[in-house]
Homo-oligomer: A and B are copies of this chain.
């Protein structure tokens, strides 16, 4: 018996859905029949042709048709009755309950017999198609940092990973891939690969006076991951985080995403400067960049460090010390950490390898007070199981074999050169129009502008010349905003930095002349 009417319908579906690419025939047939069933072009209860007849009428192998039928059967689009054949099943549920669609009730579909009545498709009923994000989702979307520029001059925060010793790194990794130890393919435990935690502990103890045993070290996916864990485990929604004003926007975003209230505290020449008013708003967290305030560049004075430790001890607040680029001090040695001064175990110290090795490596670390080790390890595992243990093993070797120290020295020298060139270029051009931040460290400096300067417009003018500086005022949360341009120099090639520096200096100078 010819199955032509149904075969024609199926063929039409297949043609409509024809597309390039290697979609197997049985799949195409399956999709065509499925589509016909869902749209009711093949009505409920229709008997399908036998596989042999359909194969003949569609010009397919019987195997192909059988495979498609098996899939349709398994998924419930058709049902088969032994000896009778294959029939189109009723796949539409009853619409949901009273509250949603008056006069209809929810029934358990599987209680219906094979004679369930047909139902009109969903047209005519109220479907609300709201593509709204949550409130917190919208906040993230509003503050989107925008498409990341290709590496262009003066974007603050970029480091020059073109000098990263790739061949060496590849060699270190290959050693572990060759050994193929199963534990390095598995999830990480105990806060991270032990030799790496040990190497980091040793490094921090000596270079930053961090008080640390290997157990207190946790390997994370970078600074934002570290901040996110702290915001989640040490604070509840609605709690207050004191942040420096101006403040690293990445930290702002993380804290907001955890529903914390940000209380900005102005930064002066000694760092965050809490006043009487600020003390009325007790913090749960205090976020600091004491080695090199981001973005103002100041180093937190010793007195100010001790003040904040005192505040934390009295309010039971946690200090999050973000030591993001302390390796890059061009005069003198890296400063001791604020954590090393603390005698009340209120500080979580964090650092990252992203700015020293390459951004995509996504390895950072935290040093937590002993009492927090167990809960932080749990959370690190339970909320987002750690991995990349091969990479952690290679990194441990990189540190232990002295390559890290060598590389840091090398890039410190390189960045120091670039900084000096930039300063020497800018100073004569700027004259009295602006001054430069004086701290000799980091991957950026600040061109400090007179109060009231429209630094956002200035940054825009610079951008038009291909110089992607950032306006200092855009980092401020509170109403009182200093003006300036944040200039990242680490990534600008040494043979180009004077050129770009002159361009930038002239933009600033011209604007200043325009004002006076």
A100/B315 in contact, CB under 8 A: yes
Residues in B neighbouring A16, C-beta threshold 8 A: none
Residues in B neighbouring A178, C-beta threshold 8 A: 170
- Does A4 count as interface, using CB distance less than 8 angstroms? no
Residues in B neighbouring A70, C-beta threshold 8 A: 332
Residues in B neighbouring A485, C-beta threshold 8 A: none
Q: Which A350-381 residues sit within 8 Å CB-CB of chain B?
A: 358-362, 369, 371-372, 374-375, 378-379, 381
B127/A313 in contact, CB under 8 A: yes
**When chains A and B are docked, how far (Å) is the Cα of A139 from the Cα of B110?**
38
- Does A478 count as interface, using CB distance less than 8 angstroms? no
CB distance from A323 to the nearest CB of B (A): 14
Which of A93, A304, A341 counts the most chain B CB atoms within 10 A?
A: A93
**When chains A and B are docked, how far (Å) is the Cα of A93 from the Cα of B108?**
71
- Does A1 count as interface, using CB distance less than 8 angstroms? no
Candidates B108, B253, B371; contact of A131 at CB < 8 Å = B371
Binds B, one of A140-148, A409-417, A442-450: A140-148
A250 (CB) vs chain B CBs: closest residue: B382
**When chains A and B are docked, how far (Å) is the Cα of A239 from the Cα of B100?**
19
- Does A120 count as interface, using CB distance less than 8 angstroms? no
Residues in B neighbouring A90, C-beta threshold 8 A: 303
Candidates B95, B189, B383; contact of A253 at CB < 8 Å = B383
B206/A91 in contact, CB under 8 A: no
B302/A77 in contact, CB under 8 A: yes
B206/A232 in contact, CB under 8 A: no
A97/B234 in contact, CB under 8 A: no
- What 1/0 mask marks residues of chain A from 470 to 496 whose CB sits below 8 Å from any chain B CB? 000000000000000000000000000
Which of A125, A280, A333, A372 counts the most chain B CB atoms within 10 A?
A: A333
Binds B, one of A5-13, A218-226, A429-437, A502-510: A218-226
- What 1/0 mask marks residues of chain A from 206 to 246 whose CB sits below 8 Å from any chain B CB? 10010000000000011011001000111111010000000
Sample (18) of A-B pairs whose CB atoms are under 8 Å apart: A71-B333, A92-B303, A93-B306, A106-B274, A106-B276, A131-B369, A134-B236, A137-B232, A137-B234, A144-B375, A144-B378, A151-B182, A166-B185, A186-B358, A221-B221, A224-B383, A237-B259, A359-B387
- Using a CB–CB cutoff of 8 Å, the interface residues on chain A facing chain B are 21-24, 27, 31, 34, 38, 67, 70-71, 74-77, 89-97, 99-101, 106, 108-110, 122, 125-137, 140-141, 143-145, 147-148, 151, 161-162, 164, 166, 169-170, 173-174, 177-178, 180, 182, 184-189, 202, 206, 209, 221-222, 224-225, 228, 232-237, 239, 250, 253-254, 257, 259, 269-270, 273-276, 279-280, 284, 301-304, 306-307, 310-311, 313-316, 332-333, 335-336, 341, 344-346, 358-362, 369, 371-372, 374-375, 378-379, 381-390
Q: Which 9 A-B pairs have the closest CB atoms?
A: A137-B233, A360-B387, A76-B302, A362-B387, A109-B303, A144-B378, A93-B307, A131-B371, A185-B358
A-B contacts besides A106-B274, A134-B235, 9 pairs, CB < 8 Å: A67-B333, A89-B302, A96-B311, A101-B314, A109-B307, A110-B301, A131-B371, A141-B233, A361-B388
